[in-house]
Amino acid sequence: MSKAIIDRLKKIAHSAGTTPLYETIDPEGNRVVFTPASLVASGGKAKSKSGKSFKITKWKGKSLSDRVSGKDFGKSKKQK
């Protein structure tokens, strides 16, 4: 892992109080939400909805209020 990625991960981990959630798009096109702690623990990789690990290259901050006020929050999903 390059020094730039490690420095960026450390910066995110230390700023967890201001933006605790981050969001990226997995290779299959699904949104994946993660925390800085989970990203650091996994070495810069996240799991897609199908369970495959992928390396995160671009992400954006997502506040908890954005997630709570989202259209899907609180809705239960039907299981097949």
Using one digit for the tens of pLDDT, what is the confidence trace for 23-62?
A: 899 999 998 888 888 888 888 888 888 889 999 888 888 7
Question: Can you give the pTM of this predicted structure?
Answer: 0.55
Q: Residue 8: which pLDDT band, with cuts at 50, 70 and 90?
A: confident
Residue that is written with structure tokens 């901050």 in the block: 61
pLDDT band at 6 (very low <50, low <70, confident <90, very high): confident
Alpha carbons 1 and 67: distance in angstroms, whole number: 30
Type and span of the H or E element at 8:
helix 3-14
Return the domain boundaries, the chain.
3-63
Name the one residue in this structure whose structure tokens are 């006020």: 69
Q: Which phi and psi (to 5°) does residue 21 adopt?
A: -125, 145
